[in-house]
Amino acid sequence: MNNREVAIVAARDAGELIQKYVNKNFQVEEKSSVFDLVTEVDRESEQLIRKKILESNPTHRIIGEEGIDHVNDLTLLMESDDYIWVIDPIDGTTNFVHGLPGYCISIALVYKKEIILGVIYDPNLNELFCAEKGKGAYLNDRKLSISDIKKIEYSVLATGFPSDIKGARAKVIQGINEIGSVCSNIRSYGAAALHLAYVAAGRLEGYWEYNLNAWDIAAGYLLVKEAGGIVSDTSGNLYELTTRDILATNGQIHTELVGKL
């Protein structure tokens, strides 16, 4: 199997595992705060994905949401390791815990500090988003391209509510105050990776959020880029793996949104 196939099989198998727990009891714990949840299903999903990757690539480094403490480790790892897989075993854990749809598996592969592969799988809708560097972005078999809407007033945008309520969430609310009255509408599905996939698919014109981690963004970044969009931080500096405040758009409304954030 090549790396793309490995990522797709891992994402689909993890999706199948996660769906077995829907409407069942599972263990839920708080991580950094009461707003930051992890379940035994996140951990099982991460183990499954790690196993699949290592079967084909025993020497590759893997960082996952439930496996390392902080994204700062990534900066160091990029100096020592050529291949790094960046995985979120369930992005949208709060939705999953509440029996809501709107969660996914996100898997990215970094080679020499560059994201070369991104896979996001939504097991509720059986939507598999996949992008490879220089080869375009796809939803199942359909090639994706970003929306061509040029004005904020016609744009549907998304944001998310991070667990850090005093800093990041307060900034999100400030952003909604700025943008909410001038755009067509605002959505918040509760999963950063899905928001990014939806920008790539032209379903949303843009998405912003603060204080995210690499595993929330890495795969979605490549999808947006390969579909023709722009990903930067909220000040307009182009995305790097350590970027935590994120703005992804179809490009047409990017500068105006940077001005408003």
State which residue, 190 or 229, has the beta carbon closest to ligand LIP.
Answer: 190
Q: H helices within the chain, ranges in order?
A: 3-19, 40-56, 72-80, 93-97, 170-179, 192-200, 214-226, 254-260
Strand 83-91 versus strand 61-64 pairing type = parallel
Counting every residue written for the chain, the total comes to: 261
Instruction: Answer yes or no: 36 catalytic.
Output: no
Catalytic residue flag (residue 245)? no
Stretch binding ligand LIP (CB under 6 A), from 52-60, 66-74, 128-136, 161-169: 161-169
Closest to ligand LIP by CB, 38 or 144: 38
What residues numbered 182-201 form the site for ligand LIP, per CB under 6 A?
Answer: 190-192
> What is the gyration radius of the CA atoms in the chain, in angstroms?
17
Active site residue 68: no
Closest to ligand LIP by CB, 248 or 252: 248
> Which residue bears the tokens 């990757």?
53
164 labelled catalytic: no
Q: What residues numbered 18-77 form the site for ligand LIP, per CB under 6 A? A: 65
Residue from the set 64, 102, 118, 162 that interacts with ligand LIP by CB under 6 A: 162
Q: Are 203 and 118 in contact (CB under 8 A)?
A: no
CA dihedral 208, 205, 188, 74 (to 10 degrees): -40
Which one among 118, 123, 160, 202 touches ligand LIP, defined by CB under 6 A?
A: 160
Find the catalytic residue in 42, 91, 132, 226.
Answer: 91
Lookup: tokens for 7: 């990522």
Residue with smaller CB distance to ligand LIP, 5 or 73: 73
Size of the site for ligand LIP (CB under 6 A): 16
* Spatial contact of 94 and 39, defined as CB atoms under 8 Å apart: no
By three-state DSSP, how is residue 82 classified? Answer: coil
Regarding 226 and contact with ligand LIP (CB under 6 A), the answer is no
> Which H helix or E strand runs over 83?
strand 83-91
> Which residue, 131 or 158, is less far from ligand LIP as judged by CB?
158
Residues catalogued as catalytic: 65, 88, 90-91, 93, 216
Q: List residues near ligand LIP by CB under 6 A.
A: 65, 88, 91-94, 160-163, 190-192, 209, 212, 216
